Structure 1
Amino acid sequence: MKRRSFFKKSAKGVLAAGLLPITGSVAAHNIETGENKLIHFNEPSGTKKKDPKRRKTLNFDVAVIGAGMAGISAAVSAARNGAKVVLVQDRPVLGGNASSEMRVTVNGVQALKNKHKVERETGIVEETLIENWHYNPQASYHVWDHVLYNYVVREKNLTLLLNTSAMDVVMEGNTINSAICWQSTTETMFTLNADMFCDCSGDGLVAATAGAEYRMGREGKAEFNESFAPDEPDGWVMGDCIMMITKDMGKPVPFYPPDYAIPFDGEKAETTGHRKIKQVKEGFWWVEVGSDVDIIGERDEIRHKLMAYFYGVWDYIKNSGKHPEADNVVLDWIGSIPGRRESRRFMGDFILTQNDMLGLRHFEDAVAFGGWSLDEHNPGGIEDLSQPASFFHSRFDNIYEVPFRCLYSKNISNLLFAGRNVSVSHMALSSTRIIGTCSMMGQAVGTAAAMCSQKDINPRGLYQNHINELQEQLLRDDSYFPNRPANDPNDKAKKASLIFGSSTISGDAKNLLDGVSRDEVDKIHHWQSDGLNAELQVEWEENQSLTSVEMKFDTNLHRKINMHKQPKKHETQPMEIPKELVKNFTVEARVKGKWVMIGSVENNLTRLVKVRFDEIKTSAVRVKLKDTYGEPNIKMFEIRCY
């Protein structure tokens, strides 16, 4: 019986169905005929029982393990570049540390020692953040989960498996043939065959099980000549933490700690200045527990400790009498799943170090950038109040480059990785672990994995023979890395005889062809109109065959657009679609002397817009830019034609 028909029946009928005995089978009662239909999953008594597990074998070009922000970026970029992709996530929600389960802010490059201070990441991670303000202006973390879900499932080449743990691999020599995964909600064992595997899971069980070389702990000073490294190597890694959110009840409310709470020496912590209680609204990131043995194997013990230490901190805040500002404040949400900063780091053909980053070393194979400070947390965490919670060793003068050789395995031929498990030293990880940087690395490995599958080569072969092609595709898809302008030979806009705007208040229309799609420090790369309803025109001396026009608009990349747990942090940034972003526009082409509309975009939500159409032959393209989300002028950074 169909479910809809079933629920139309009487309450008596429903109750009768619910009372049928179930012993070794599933019983369903047919209300209309009065017949019992028994569905036996086991063989009759006395014979061998069938295995209740369901088993499926699926084939893909690219398998991405882990759906934090790095994994989402990897899977979506691979799918958009033509690969058939599976994204495997062991939780019921997407986002990893950034999800509602852990609520870590999607931070990126900020606090630079230059006039920009912020140098925001573009591409897939920016698309998700802007969409969030469109669908979720209330800044709900639960809605954010669903924004990410919508973002992923709409990709036609992408299959999502939630509540699914990758448990083992099938190898052929040094190549991964399959990942063996268990989906708890459906009791299904999946064998996922793929050409390329991207481990974006953080701890990297798939990569480790495959035999990929990795490190855990801290290198000593001597290995990479890192000034902030310990004198001798050791096993310490930065710790896990849990977060919380509070609300004001408008009247004093008592707090009673649970039995397992561990008392917090708040006087010592605040006197030394290492863990001052500056606010009681959200946090605290420094409720952290690390390990010098095996942070993965100790996870459950660490989770319990974190909860115990957190409740000790909150007991101190509420009951010591030193924080009257918390009298009316109660806990509204406390994390139950620790957010992790560090565990395995898998080795690639290059290990990025502190000196590479502080020296702003240029890499010919750069595919991403970073710039969060060298934010190495005290490895003992809250269990070592004699040390600061984080050392904050150094900020950066400008953004540093991340080379592709850090993002694939040196000894497993078809394995890439992105996130906190990439090929960096412990000191370098104190910066590269930040979510925005991890997301950019994810977009790079997803694009690379798709290329490797299509070309039937491994990542090392892609680096050796096709790195320029990879970089050009990333730049086309709105990634960015310094010292590498785009120069795609297939971009016909670069061959234009003329480009001009209807008006100019800043920059020059020619800047839209210079290959740099953002303003750099003391270098302008934009064209800005004088007012709305502006036009930009590209002309060729001879007809061009075109199927797409691609543009990059302004979203003010030197300002934060993150979602935070604490509402006060939103006061210095927008909780809306960037007002600079172009909202409505049309694209026209001159065909046989007449202007013909070939594309129209309304309520645009992305910095990068690709307008596709059936092939035409044209001598000119004109973009009519109607308005923005609030800015009085139109600003663009790039136009391409293919």
Structure 2
Amino acid sequence: MKRRDFLTKGTQGAIAAAALIPLGVSATPTESPLQVDDLGDRKKDNWLEVASGKKIKPQRKITKEFDVAVLGGGAAGICAAVAAARNGAKTVLVQDRSVLGGNASSEIRVHLNGVNHLKGGLPERETGIIEELLLLNRFDNAQASFPVFDHVMYDFVVREPNLELMLNTQAVEAKMSGNKIKSARCWQSNTETEITIKAPIFIDCSGDGLLAATAGAEYRTGREAASEFGEKYAPKVADGWQMGASILMSSKDMGKPMPYTAPSYAIRYKAEIAHKKRYIKGFDEGIWWVEVGSEHDIIAEQEINRHKLMGYLHGVWDYIKNSGNHPEAANYALDWVGNLPGRRESRRFIGDYIMSETDMTGHKHFEDAIAFGGWSLDEHNPGGIENPSEPPSYFHAHFDEIYEVPFRSLYSKNIDNLMFAGRNVSQTHIALSSSRIMATCALMGQAVGTAATICVKKNVSPRDISNKFINELQEQLLRDDAFIPMRPANDPLDLAKKASLIFASSTISGDAKLMNDGWSRDINDKIHHWESEGLNAELQMEWDNPIDLSTVEIKCDTNVKRNIMMRKDQRHDKIYTNTVPEEMLKAVDLEARVNGSWIKLGTLDNNKRRLIKFKFDSVKTTAIRLKLKETYGKKSVKLFEVRCYA
């Protein structure tokens, strides 16, 4: 069956084209805000309280106020909330599950991929908040356990002093004041509590975007026609098809024959008619193509599809175990089976710019770039496993260099105080096939979280950031160790820019003078680092006139050409590592010259971050000196940037 034929033929036979229901392609949502009863009403409740011995009426309705409200606790939402909190905004992160991480959580267990799909296999790995989280996981979860990763992410969020986490909570309705969201009505299921969240800025990172939809934010679903954006891989006629959801499993070699009996709901896998690219290998790690799409409303059919997916998964495993075609599976047994499908696509909200396939393949430069991507155009078969004659994904095009993501795609065109990050941003269906990858979504999250703090401080809208304050946003992102293609840092407050002399005790590659050149990684074979010859190295920065100094920030090497995400197979080669990067700086001392004498301002013996920050009481100095004592294994140390602030 040809790819486009599947638009008019279902897996059970031919269906009329009219039966396909486009879900609002190029459309504004038509549903009105939810009208529901008072969820927190407990007038008929009588609760015997142990402390007082009296029967009380439980209080199950509260209101909380924040500067920034982030909805959705996947990679994008985590990075958005942490960025907002660290930059000074009182922030809440609302997550509808009991764990953080979204598709990367133990409930779904998708690899937290990013730009690790470039031609030639080398990544151009993400830095910033998402790298900090993945590095923490390498320290605290060396065993690569997904349930432990849940707790690593939990720790990463709750340790932020300016950030409140609400789990098991879903934002179900936006209360509006004109074109602004005034508050979000939320339901916390495990406490039976209705929570009203008020904030001047809302960020919807929930994927499906229920809050944004109830606010009336414009969105699209389905595939655009090729002619609308000049997209090579889009269909000729727009339609409602979206990429489906997958369910994963894992299996374990038990060292002895393990029988398997399929459950009653299993759906037989017809391998004899399956496309040759439906590979059955590495089944101990799960099979990603057990996927189901939807001809109608992919959100409304989630529970139907969940049941079908579980049936299809057991059908595939039954084939592996009992067909006789995979004797290598004789000793394998199911070790874990997912109950929650990982969704790829639903609503895509419209911003001031709609990112398209041609922006990516043409490597369009955006003056408002705030993130980057590079995963292939990985458009999954819209029918999933129910269209077995087609490949599970088309992998239309691979990138040999990264592309830019514009800020104008991350805020709502018609709701003044609403931003997005993740798969629900302003983009076409084909563009989504690349940018939906979690680490790319995380970069968007850090960008909107940072932008939200500027909005709050200046009392402006996200559109104002794009029109008036984009330089401020970009500079803050670069300072916080995000990378923006074609955009060097030039922070006027960075005193390192005014240093009269930068030198080092030894050099094996690069130059110490590059520590303030505005680039925090080597790019396109151009060196922007200094590397010592051996350890116990020193780097010194001098000023002609004394400066007031209270902060020094260092960006060390974590080898962005090697991926650090957690993999089920614990892969360790030139592309992936399953350990802490050996290049990363572990121990360093900071000294300053004050009145002609060197004094110690700080010491770090167990560093776990690429971005190292020393903060101290202000001193008047004419020089600083870094004593670089130890890495996590490499016999030299490499730095990319040193910044200094009053």
Normalising by structure 1, report the TM-score. Answer: 0.92
Q: C-alpha distance in 2, partners of 1:254/1:571?
A: 38
Match of 2:355 in 1: 352
| 2:581 pairs with one of 572, 578, 582 | 578
What is the root-mean-square deviation of aligned Cα atoms in Å? 1.5
Deviation of 1:514 after TM superposition, in Å, equals 1.0
| 2:248 pairs with one of 238, 243, 248 | 243
Instruction: Give, as a single letter, the amino acid of the residue that structure 1 aligns with 2:512.
Output: A
Q: Deviations over 1:67-106 (max 9, x none)?
A: 1010000000000000000000011111011100001111
- The 8 Å contact of residues 532 and 633 in structure 1, kept in 2 or not, is answered as yes
Match of 1:62 in 2: 68
- 1:261 pairs with 2:276: no
Q: C-alpha distance in 1, partners of 2:617/2:279?
A: 62
Deviation of 1:576 after TM superposition, in Å, equals 1.9
Deviation of 1:574 after TM superposition, in Å, equals 2.5
Q: C-alpha distance in 1, partners of 2:296/2:537?
A: 62
Deviation of 1:566 after TM superposition, in Å, equals 2.9
Instruction: Give, as a single letter, the amino acid of the residue that structure 2 aligns with 1:184.
Output: S
Instruction: Give, as a single letter, the amino acid of the residue that structure 2 aligns with 1:348.
Output: G
| 1:550 pairs with one of 543, 553, 572 | 553
Q: C-alpha distance in 1, partners of 2:216/2:338?
A: 33
Deviation of 1:554 after TM superposition, in Å, equals 0.3
Match of 2:19 in 1: none
| 1:362 pairs with one of 343, 362, 365 | 365
Match of 2:156 in 1: 151
Deviation of 1:397 after TM superposition, in Å, equals 2.1
- The 8 Å contact of residues 26 and 38 in structure 1, kept in 2 or not, is answered as no
- The 8 Å contact of residues 46 and 56 in structure 2, kept in 1 or not, is answered as yes
Q: C-alpha distance in 1, partners of 2:49/2:485?
A: 64
Instruction: Give, as a single letter, the amino acid of the residue that structure 2 aligns with 1:501.
Output: A
Q: C-alpha distance in 2, partners of 1:561/1:89?
A: 25
- 1:376 pairs with 2:379: yes
Instruction: Give, as a single letter, the amino acid of the residue that structure 2 aligns with 1:108.
Output: G
Q: C-alpha distance in 2, partners of 1:349/1:28?
A: 53
Deviation of 1:487 after TM superposition, in Å, equals 0.5
Deviation of 1:572 after TM superposition, in Å, equals 6.2
Match of 1:442 in 2: 445
Match of 1:34 in 2: none
- The 8 Å contact of residues 53 and 189 in structure 1, kept in 2 or not, is answered as no
| 1:72 pairs with one of 78, 81, 96 | 78
Match of 2:110 in 1: 104
Deviation of 1:26 after TM superposition, in Å, equals 4.9
- The 8 Å contact of residues 563 and 570 in structure 1, kept in 2 or not, is answered as no
Q: Deviations over 1:585-639 (max 9, x none)?
A: 1111111111111111121000001111111111001111101000000000000
- 1:562 pairs with 2:565: yes
| 1:414 pairs with one of 414, 417, 442 | 417
- 1:612 pairs with 2:615: yes
Q: C-alpha distance in 1, partners of 2:47/2:65?
A: 32
- 1:295 pairs with 2:298: yes
Say which one has the larger Rg.
Answer: 1
Match of 2:395 in 1: 392
Q: Deviations over 1:337-390 (max 9, x none)?
A: 110100000010001110110111100000000000000000010000111100
Deviation of 1:478 after TM superposition, in Å, equals 0.3
Q: C-alpha distance in 1, partners of 2:479/2:570?
A: 35
- 1:202 pairs with 2:207: yes
Deviation of 1:292 after TM superposition, in Å, equals 3.1
Match of 1:162 in 2: 167
Match of 1:3 in 2: none
Match of 2:345 in 1: 342
Match of 1:40 in 2: 55
Q: C-alpha distance in 1, partners of 2:571/2:643?
A: 40
- The 8 Å contact of residues 251 and 286 in structure 2, kept in 1 or not, is answered as no
- 1:329 pairs with 2:332: yes
Q: C-alpha distance in 1, partners of 2:311/2:218?
A: 35
Deviation of 1:577 after TM superposition, in Å, equals 1.3
Deviation of 1:27 after TM superposition, in Å, equals 5.2
Residues 501 and 459 of structure 1: CA distance in aligned 2, closer, same or farther (over 3 Å) = same
Q: C-alpha distance in 2, partners of 1:125/1:458?
A: 26
- The 8 Å contact of residues 74 and 446 in structure 1, kept in 2 or not, is answered as yes
SS of residue paired to 2:190: coil
Deviation of 1:54 after TM superposition, in Å, equals 1.1
Q: C-alpha distance in 2, partners of 1:521/1:564?
A: 28
Q: C-alpha distance in 1, partners of 2:137/2:99?
A: 15
Q: C-alpha distance in 2, partners of 1:550/1:624?
A: 14
Q: C-alpha distance in 2, partners of 1:244/1:312?
A: 12
- The 8 Å contact of residues 235 and 291 in structure 1, kept in 2 or not, is answered as no
Q: Deviations over 1:264-295 (max 9, x none)?
A: 011222xx413021222122110000113211
- 1:121 pairs with 2:126: yes
Residues 574 and 199 of structure 1: CA distance in aligned 2, closer, same or farther (over 3 Å) = same
| 2:278 pairs with one of 268, 275, 279 | 275
Normalising by structure 2, report the TM-score. Answer: 0.91
Deviation of 1:112 after TM superposition, in Å, equals 1.5
Unpaired segments ≥5 residues, structure 1: 1-22, 31-36, 43-51
Deviation of 1:583 after TM superposition, in Å, equals 0.3
Deviation of 1:111 after TM superposition, in Å, equals 2.7
| 1:222 pairs with one of 211, 215, 227 | 227
SS of residue paired to 2:453: helix
Identity rate, percent: 61
Match of 1:601 in 2: 604
Deviation of 1:184 after TM superposition, in Å, equals 1.4
- The 8 Å contact of residues 88 and 165 in structure 1, kept in 2 or not, is answered as yes
Q: Deviations over 1:184-242 (max 9, x none)?
A: 12221111100100000000001111000000000011111100001111100000011
Residues 329 and 596 of structure 1: CA distance in aligned 2, closer, same or farther (over 3 Å) = same
Match of 1:463 in 2: 466
Deviation of 1:147 after TM superposition, in Å, equals 0.5
Match of 2:17 in 1: none
Deviation of 1:41 after TM superposition, in Å, equals 2.6
Q: C-alpha distance in 1, partners of 2:46/2:205?
A: 40
- 1:130 pairs with 2:131: no
Instruction: Give, as a single letter, the amino acid of the residue that structure 2 aligns with 1:211.
Output: G
Instruction: Give, as a single letter, the amino acid of the residue that structure 2 aligns with 1:244.
Output: M
Match of 2:630 in 1: 627
Q: C-alpha distance in 2, partners of 1:282/1:584?
A: 36
Instruction: Give, as a single letter, the amino acid of the residue that structure 2 aligns with 1:486.
Output: A
Deviation of 1:182 after TM superposition, in Å, equals 1.1
SS of residue paired to 1:118: coil
Q: C-alpha distance in 2, partners of 1:368/1:279?
A: 33
SS of residue paired to 1:151: helix
Q: Deviations over 1:90-128 (max 9, x none)?
A: 1111101110000111101023136x7211000111011
Deviation of 1:570 after TM superposition, in Å, equals 7.7
Q: C-alpha distance in 2, partners of 1:578/1:24?
A: 56
Match of 1:18 in 2: none
SS of residue paired to 1:356: helix
Q: C-alpha distance in 1, partners of 2:196/2:46?
A: 28
Residues 219 and 569 of structure 1: CA distance in aligned 2, closer, same or farther (over 3 Å) = farther
Residues 514 and 249 of structure 1: CA distance in aligned 2, closer, same or farther (over 3 Å) = same
Q: C-alpha distance in 2, partners of 1:128/1:185?
A: 27
- The 8 Å contact of residues 274 and 385 in structure 1, kept in 2 or not, is answered as no
Q: C-alpha distance in 2, partners of 1:29/1:165?
A: 30
| 2:92 pairs with one of 83, 86, 94 | 86
Q: C-alpha distance in 1, partners of 2:355/2:46?
A: 57
- The 8 Å contact of residues 351 and 413 in structure 2, kept in 1 or not, is answered as yes
- The 8 Å contact of residues 545 and 615 in structure 1, kept in 2 or not, is answered as yes
SS of residue paired to 2:195: strand
- The 8 Å contact of residues 87 and 160 in structure 1, kept in 2 or not, is answered as yes
Residues 568 and 325 of structure 1: CA distance in aligned 2, closer, same or farther (over 3 Å) = farther
Unpaired segments ≥5 residues, structure 2: 1-43
